[in-house]
């Protein structure tokens, strides 16, 4: 009986040490796994650090080389030459614009012959009085008064017979309310009832000039003057007017337009921007100037 109790006690001791040994083994396994994971993280982290360190050193080395090159006497000399070339190009571009504009102006300059004046006044009906005469680049503009609405039309018919003008038209005719004016009976009897404006083209062809300029105080030209000669009644058209890209890649945005030195209205400008083109029918010489500002995409301020 005593031996049986000793056996049971011994068995319990063995079970206790067996359980302890099993738990100790599991803890050892967990510790080994943890060490492996930590070691893996250290290896990966060290590799990443080494890669970033080497990349940083390589980039810094390239930066140092570029800085040394930029600070070198040879580089500074080339930079100075580049600046001089840019200034020279700007001057040459200005001269190119001025020469092209002068050439276009000389090429299209003409004068009115005295025989034209004789023909014009011989075609004027007896009840018509010419009050104003203007001649610009082959276009004659006559303003006057008449007793009858049809008198200016008779004058156009006379011009057509003489074949003086290649194209002639009435741009305005209006009746005058003489009763609203304070006049003597004699002056009232002599007063004309209609005023009119007539425009005639002496030439069969006219020049259309298109310039592209920077919209600043200096109005620096972006390119040479584009000149084309078209016949009376022909249509001119310039497309792609909304933007201009210079040879160096700088982009400009259309800001204003002047036609014969008169700036067009905002409403007309909006229509031109909508179609990205400007066009018209030739009846006289046309001088179109397109003004641009620097695009916001290239550091400017778009208006």
Q: Are 291 and 215 in contact (CB under 8 A)?
A: yes
Three-state DSSP at 191 gives coil
Q: Does residue 2 fall inside a structural domain?
A: no
Please give the pLDDT value at position 120: 81
Please give the pLDDT value at position 302: 42
Three-state DSSP at 245 gives strand
Q: Does residue 11 fall inside a structural domain?
A: no
pLDDT band at 301; cut points 50, 70, 90 = very low
Q: What is the mean pLDDT of residues 127-144?
A: 84
Q: Are 199 and 282 in contact (CB under 8 A)?
A: no
Q: Does residue 14 fall inside a structural domain?
A: no
Last residue of a domain, one of 201, 220, 236: 201
pLDDT in tens, 199-254: 888 777 888 999 999 998 888 888 888 888 888 888 999 999 999 998 888 999 99
pLDDT in tens, 91-117: 666 666 666 665 555 555 555 566 677
Residues spanned by the domain of 285: 205-298
Please give the pLDDT value at position 69: 74
Q: What is the mean pLDDT of residues 123-135?
A: 86
pLDDT at 136 over 80: no
Q: Does residue 36 fall inside a structural domain?
A: no
Closest by CA to 152, choosing from 136, 168, 176, 135, is 168
> Which CATH number goes with the domain that contains 191?
3.30.1360.100
pLDDT at 260 over 80: yes
Q: Are 137 and 108 in contact (CB under 8 A)?
A: yes
Q: Does residue 87 fall inside a structural domain?
A: no
Please give the pLDDT value at position 220: 86
221: which DSSP letter?
B
Phi, psi of 121 (to 5 degrees): -75, -25
In terms of phi and psi (left: phi > 0; alpha: psi -120 to 50; beta: otherwise), the region of 219 is left
Structural domains counted in the chain: 2
Last residue of a domain, one of 141, 168, 201: 201
Phi, psi of 208 (to 5 degrees): -115, 115
Q: Does residue 285 fall inside a structural domain?
A: yes
β partners of residue 263: 258
Tokens of 70: 């930029």
Q: What is the mean pLDDT of residues 9-28?
A: 52
d(CA 112, CA 120): 12
């Amino acid at each position: 009986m005593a031996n049986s109790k000793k056996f049971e006690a011994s068995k319990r001791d063995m079970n206790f040490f067996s359980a302890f040994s099993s738990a100790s083994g599991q803890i050892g396994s967990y510790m080994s796994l943890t060490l492996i994971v930590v070691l893996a993280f250290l290896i990966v982290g060290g590799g990443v650090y080494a890669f970033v360190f080497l990349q940083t050193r390589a980039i810094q080395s390239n930066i140092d080389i570029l800085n040394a090159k930029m600070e070198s006497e040879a580089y500074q000399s080339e930079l100075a030459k580049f600046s001089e070339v840019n200034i020279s190009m700007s001057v040459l571009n200005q001269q190119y614009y001025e020469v092209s504009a002068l050439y276009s102006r000389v090429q299209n300059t003409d004068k009115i012959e005295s025989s034209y004046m004789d023909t014009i006044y011989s075609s004027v009906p007896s009840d018509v009085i010419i009050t104003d005469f203007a001649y610009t680049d082959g276009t004659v503009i006559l303003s006057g008064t008449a007793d009858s609405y049809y008198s200016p039309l008779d004058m156009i018919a006379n011009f057509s017979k003489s074949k003086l003008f290649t194209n002639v038209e009435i741009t305005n005719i209006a009746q005058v309310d003489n009763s609203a004016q304070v006049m003597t009976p004699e002056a009232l009897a002599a007063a004309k009832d209609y005023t009119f404006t007539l425009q005639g083209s002496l030439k069969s062809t006219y020049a259309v000039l298109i310039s592209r300029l920077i919209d600043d105080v200096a109005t620096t030209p972006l390119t040479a003057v584009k000149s084309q000669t078209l016949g009376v009644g022909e249509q001119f058209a310039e497309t792609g007017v909304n933007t201009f890209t210079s040879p160096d890649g700088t982009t400009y945005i259309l800001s204003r337009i002047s036609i014969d030195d008169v700036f067009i209205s905002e409403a007309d400008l909006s229509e031109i921007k909508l179609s990205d083109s400007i066009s018209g029918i030739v009846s006289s010489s046309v001088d179109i100037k397109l003004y641009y500002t620097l695009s916001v995409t290239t550091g400017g301020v778009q208006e």
